[in-house]
Structure 1
Amino acid sequence: MKVEALLFGGVAVFFGGTAALYGAWSGDPTGTAALIVAFGMAALVSFFCAVQYARRGRRPQDRREAEVTDAAGPLEFFPPHSLWPIVTALGFSVAATGVVYGLWLFLIGLGVLARGVLGLVFQYANRGVERED
């Protein structure tokens, strides 16, 4: 993940520099905002890849002497079934509708969306932790 972090870091630097130059020379707030958002997204992916590299170290794909069997086995835990993606989608839909129809509906949607995201994040927070009863 180190190579990916450096790659997206370079993209983020490019978009950041482009946003600064474009904003100073053109005075166009729309294009500048779009470039700033692109910078933020690239920086976020770069940060994620850097954190994953720091946590897990080098992957078999990063080593030249690695064999194909080094990468065998389960990659990650994926939940078999969950209702939280549906709650998250419903919350986003209500919040997006609230942008059109009013603040009250947007706030309700934002609450449902926040609950859905928290449910997704903490659904298996205690997975692998031994309980002492």
Structure 2
Amino acid sequence: MKTEALLFAGVAGFFAITAGFYGRYGHDPAGTSVLIVACLMAALVAFFLAVQYRRRGRRAQDRRDAEVADTAGPLDFFPPASPWPLVVAAGFTVIALGVVFGLWLALLGAGVLALGVFEMVFQYAGRQDRQDR
């Protein structure tokens, strides 16, 4: 993950430099804002990957002497079917309809969305892993 972290840090640096030049010579606040947001998003991904590299160390894909068998086995827990992504989608839909029909509907949609996101995030919070890490 170190390579990926450096790659995204380079992308963030590119967007930062581009945003600086564009803000100085472009005189367009919308374009400058978009470039700054792109820089921040790339920096967020680079930070996440750097933290994961520090926490977990080198992967088999990062080593030149690794064998295919080094990556065998279960990778992680992938949850089975869940109803909560549908609730999140319904919440977004009701919020979008609330923009058209009124604030009361958008607030109702925000509640449905919050419930769906909360339940989706904490659905497997108490689950114990079979393997020790």
- Corresponding residue number in structure 2 for 1:36: 36
Q: Deviations over 1:34-91 (max 9, x none)?
A: 2122112212211221222122111100011111000001111111111111111111
RMSD: 1.6
Q: Distance in 2 between matches of 1:8 and 1:54?
A: 16
Q: Which runs of 5+ in 2 are unaligned?
A: none
Letter in 2 for 1:64: R
Q: Which runs of 5+ in 1 are unaligned?
A: none
- Ranges of 4+ aligned residues in structure 1 off by more than 4 Å: none
Letter in 2 for 1:119: E
Q: Does residue 62 of structure 1 match 2:62?
A: yes
> Compared with structure 1, are the counterparts of its residues 33 and 99 closer, same or farther at alpha carbon in structure 2 (3 Å cutoff)?
farther
- Corresponding residue number in structure 2 for 1:118: 118
> Compared with structure 1, are the counterparts of its residues 31 and 111 closer, same or farther at alpha carbon in structure 2 (3 Å cutoff)?
same
**3-state SS of 1:16 partner:** helix
| Aligned length in residues | 129
Q: Distance in 2 between matches of 1:20 and 1:104?
A: 41
TM-score normalised by length of structure 1? 0.87
TM-score normalised by length of structure 2? 0.87
**% identity of equivalent residues:** 67
